[in-house]
Amino acid sequence: MFYWIFISWFLQIPKLVSAFITMNISLCFYKTPEDFHHDGDVMIGAFFPIHTYYTEYKIPHPFLPYQYMDNYLLYNFKNYQYILALVFAIEEINGNPSLLPNISLGFDFYNVRFTEKETLMNACFWLISQGQKKILPNYNCAKRNFTAALTGTSWTTSAQIGTLLQLFKFPQLSFGPYDPILSDRGQYSSLYQMAPKYTLIPLGIVSLMVHFRWSWVGLILPDDHKGNIILSEFREDMDRKGICIAFVKMIPDTWASYINKFWENMDETNVIIIYGDIDSLIGLMRNIGERLLTGKVWVMNIEPYITDYADYFMFDSFHGSLIFTYHYRESFELTKFIQTVNPYKYPEDIYLPKLWHLFFKCSFSDINCQLLADCHSNASLDMLPSHILDMTISEESNNIYNAVYAVAHSLHQITLQQEQIQAHENDKMMAFFPWQLNIFLKDIDERNNMNSGGRQKLNAEYDILNLWNLPKGLGRKVKIGSFSANAPEGQQLSLSEHMIQWAGGFSEIPQAVCSKSCEPGFRKVTLEGKAICCYNCTPCADNEISNETDADQCIKCPESHYASIEKNRCFQKALSFLSYKDPLGVTLANISLCLSALTAFVIGVFVKYRDTPIVKANNRGLSYTLLITITFCLLCSLNFIGQPNTASCILQQTIFGVSFTVALATVLAKAITVVIAFKATFPGRMVRWLMTSRAPNYIIPICTLIQLLLCGIWMATSPPFIDQDVHAEHGQILLFCNKGSSVAFHCVLGYLCSLALGGYTMAFLSRNLPDTFNESKFLSFSMLVFFCVWVTFLPVYHSTKGKVMVAMEVFSILASSAALLGFIFAPKCYIILLRPEKNSFHHIRDKTHSRRNKSLKI
């Protein structure tokens, strides 16, 4: 209950404040005329929107201090800067002896009420009756020289007044935003626009979107010809930068009937662009302020005039907004001039007394409504808060300043040419026709836009302002960056992000995307039928990476690199080969050395027992040759282990091929020797010659020469070389010896297999010969194992990759060498070392007699 009582009491505060303010406001404040005049020899008409239309009394706003209304329409004191710029330019020209000497400029001010009837009525008052409030067509009551009219801020105001001034070819200068309709010389031949023809604010806004990665934004534009032009420019710039429009809201003239549908789909994005002039968007801005939309970032080209609504609220709709404005150099002279402006210096000004009364506690005289001298002694306009009167020069104020100088220079040209000038009776006034200024103003208009032939040719610089409207609607605008159109690409936008105050609800940079960003390692996949900003994320393929957010395509890593697990970086592949440090390499090397040591041991045994029957019976010379060759075969496998080089690649195949050729040829010679030895028991000259001449031993050099010839052809035509395999093992580059000619390698291997097959055949044929130490069975079995090893080697070798391929070849060398050593020499070493009684002539004689008796019985 107490809570609701407190809320009810709190809601009564605005009424109390309003009542208090009403009691302290003088009735003189309500007596606000629509015009005032600053005398001069030549007069300029000024039509500015300073305050709204009212009837009899000005009523204080119910809850906003310093705000007064009639039918809920507010003063716009910010536009008072237009009058200050006009007065400053005129006084500066009047004080310049080289420009319009002996001629003073003055002005007639008329308030623009935003209704066509009242606007045209004020134009008639000025043009026809010269401010006398009595229309006398074609008669000049005041007998004053009139030069030109300054109109703005909207194109509608300039067009309405232009329809009247066009009848008299009266010069008219528009200080509002450039509008293509007003440039129609057939309809407005004497109207000149001071604003540049082209603007790059849309490009600057799009650059801001790119900077903050806002790719999904809303767009609000007036529903008129200018809105359509700006929409096409935004679409062009956004398409080029990859930004999508979430929605487009076009504001029609009948805003009240559109308001219910306007807020539909507004929550699709957090960032909304508002572009247009204040007159066409004033209804929208008021509605946004009333709704207190604190969760949106508004990016605008205009300054919201209703930030004062936030004075009694914790949050404001436009707090954190980003505003693009034209950059103008600060005028210290104008600032100094503003500091000297007061109601006593310019008594004809109808607004200065009201400002002094409201903000500096000055009171009016009850007799003539003149300010009394009880004001603050140091009162100055630059003391007013920025949301009441901004001291920063606006685009419109700058255009007014330039327009006054354009008129002054045109008048100066007329005086110099001494044409069509008529002096008045006192010879102090110049007589001329206003339409004569069109010749000179046309040249100024062309020079003003001669560098604006295209959007890309315009050299423009813009300030980016951040609106700080907390606390209590102070409306402070802080420059947080700039956009320079003529800067190099990528350097046009400059921001100080740490200075930005974001809208309520955002503690960091807001997000405005249709889809969640694709992290590095993923790429975008557009969705059919949707905008390019709406997409899915898919991981990069194997050995492809994306090292940036929202990548369109993945980048394939070079063959010397591999992709990380996250697929966001490429790492250099490590060189890989069958090293002595690898467990597999160490194992094979140890096996090779152990078998080589065992072979050396066997050689030692055979040398020590060389005179024993078993050694003699098995041809000592061939046995020594075979054992030494097996040692070379075993040691040649070490050449396959370690980092390969050109020499090792060549030696691998040549030593392997020649060593095994000698070994297999020796086995073939031993098998043939056994067969011939058996045949020697039968008389025959040829057999005896073969035994005495040792012809089988010549098989070894003959077969070796054939293999050397094959290897020579191989090395001469396509020798082995160092090669790399980047795909065999992940993250590694395999170094290996490429065989060069695959045909030559298989020929060498096939030749070895043919020798093994020949040796196996001869040994198999002599396996049952009645010899005491017949080794034919062992030779045939060793050749069978050798043949099986290398026949099996081929498919396995071609089906493996990496170091396993090399290890497979080493294993085949070791296995075939071990087969020769084990099956041929193991039984002999067993008899020599463990059964020496069998290795004697007595045992041989007894065994021979038993075989003969057995033969006789048979």
pLDDT at residue 285 is higher than 50: yes
Conformation bin of residue 303: beta by default, left when phi > 0, alpha when psi is -120 to 50: beta
pTM check: above 0.85: no
The pLDDT, as a whole number, for residue 446 is: 65
Q: Considering only CA atoms, which of 811, 762, 760 is closest in space to residue 789?
A: 811
Counting residues of the chain whose pLDDT is more than 70, the rounded percentage is 78
Counting residues of the chain whose pLDDT is more than 90, the rounded percentage is 16
- The token duo for 488 is 């190099």
Mean pLDDT of 543-562: 88
The pLDDT, as a whole number, for residue 688 is: 54
The pLDDT, as a whole number, for residue 160 is: 87
Mean pLDDT of 263-271: 85
Query: Using the 8-state DSSP alphabet, how is residue 371 labeled?
Result: B
Domains in the chain (CATH in brackets) are 2-198+332-450 (3.40.50.2300), 201-328+457-499 (3.40.50.2300), 537-572 (no CATH), 583-857 (1.20.1070)
- Write the pLDDT tens digit of every residue in 211-250: 998 989 999 998 888 888 899 999 999 999 889 999 999 8
733-758 burial: b if 16+ Cβ within 10 Å, else e: bbbbbbbbbeebbebbbebbbebbbb
Provide the CA 435 distance to its chain's centre, in angstroms: 56
Confidence band for 404, pLDDT divided at 50, 70 and 90: very high
Q: In terms of pLDDT, which residue wins out, 694 or 410?
A: 410
- Long-range CB pairs of 492-499, under 8 A, 24+ apart, other chains included: 492/204, 492/207, 493/204, 493/207, 493/208, 493/211, 495/208, 495/211, 495/464, 499/466
Beta-carbon count within 10 A of 377 CB: 6
* DSSP 3-state of 710: helix
Q: In terms of pLDDT, which residue wins out, 280 or 684?
A: 280
Mean pLDDT of 719-745: 83
Beta-carbon count within 10 A of 327 CB: 15
Provide the CA 524 distance to its chain's centre, in angstroms: 13
Residues 6+ apart with CB under 8 A from 176: 151, 152, 153, 154, 155, 157, 158, 193, 195, 277, 396, 399
